Amino acid sequence: MDDVSLTIAGKSFSSRLLLGSGGYPNRQILLDAIRAARPAMVTVAIRRISLEAYAESLVDLLAEQTLLPNTAGCASVRDAVLTAELGREALGTDWVKLELIGDRETQYPDVELLLRATEELVRKGFTVLPYCNDDPVTCRKLADLGAAAVMPLGAPIGTGLGIANPHAIARICATSAVPVILDAGIGTASDAAQAMELGCAGVLLNTAVAGAENPPLMARAMREAVCAGRHARLAGRIAKRTQAEPSSPQLGLVGSG
């Protein structure tokens, strides 16, 4: 089993970490964090990028990265589809992270609209990666509609609470026909490692790095955590026990017998 490359829609990436580009103190820190993270893709909100070719545009700044446009801020199918089409025109990619928020306070997705938008974007030739609830049924329906991956939340966006329902994430990973990318809620490196240990194919995060005291150092920690979690998943953890079991044999101890 490959422990390095992430494959989505037939395309392979050398990292299983995806990194957001919003909320950094300045653009130099963003660039330093990206260098430390070495992510497979960097997500960019279409409503935030400049479509003009001037030197400081975000598109130009991240020219060496594989960009994944997202529909952040959209609250209707029409807006999400239009935003995805603008991203395809601006960035020359038919990949899109689909976000359709149903509640501004919790930033939870609107599942009904998400399903409709996924179906329409797939029909228009997009490679759709929808941000969704940690619900195995929703994830299955999205995959059935043609989503290239599913991106369930670990906890509400920006909270840093980690994975609130690890059993649901594990269930999604065990039953999904497409890669599962844990998205939202990551607060520190151990959260990212846990996501991989639960069976996720990758992790997407933003605030945990952008809001850290030292974003580049946290970005490096996240890269290493994703690798460690993946290796632990492949290695297979020991079974949990209710009683202690010594690692050294009792036979031959001084004074025994």
For residue 46, which phi and psi values (nearest 5 degrees)? Answer: -60, -35
The pLDDT of residue 46 is 84
| Contact status, residue 201 vs residue 149, Cβ threshold 8 Å | yes
The hierarchical CATH code for the domain 6-235 is 3.20.20.70
If pLDDT is split at 50, 70 and 90, which confidence band does 90 have?
confident
Span 166-189, average pLDDT: 96
Distance CA 160, CA 176 (A): 25
Domain ranges of the chain: 6-235
- Are 133 and 99 in contact by the 8 Å Cβ rule? The answer is no
65 vs 255 pLDDT, higher one = 65
Nearest CA to 181 among 171, 168, 196?
196
**pLDDT at residue number 53:** 43
Percent of the chain with pLDDT over 90: 74
Comparing CA positions, the residue from 228, 157, 203 lying closest to residue 13 is 203
Whether the per-residue pLDDT at 252 is higher than 80: the answer is no
User: Which one is predicted more confidently, 56 or 140?
Assistant: 140
CA distance linking residue 108 with residue 75, whole number of Å: 11
The Cα 229–Cα 186 span in angstroms is 14
Torsions phi, psi for 191 (to 5 deg) = -65, -40
Assess whether pLDDT exceeds 80 at residue 155.
yes
Q: Can you tell me the distance from the alpha carbon of 88 to that of 91, in angstroms, rounded to the nearest whole number?
A: 5
| Alpha helices by DSSP H, the chain | 27-37, 58-61, 77-91, 111-123, 136-144, 166-175, 189-197, 207-210, 215-235
The residue whose two tokens read 């920690």 is 221
Q: Is 11 a catalytic residue?
A: no
Strand partners of residue 103: 108
Question: In which band, very low, low, confident or very high, does the pLDDT at 187 lie, cut at 50, 70 and 90?
Answer: very high
Inter-axis angle of helices 136-144 and 111-123, to 10 degrees? 20
Beta strand 11-13 with 6-8 is antiparallel
User: What is the pLDDT, as a whole number, of residue 249?
Assistant: 65
Give the pLDDT mean for 19-37: 94
**Which one of the listed residues 11, 97, 124, 240 is annotated catalytic?**
97
Per-residue confidence (pLDDT) for residue 49, from 0 to 100: 55
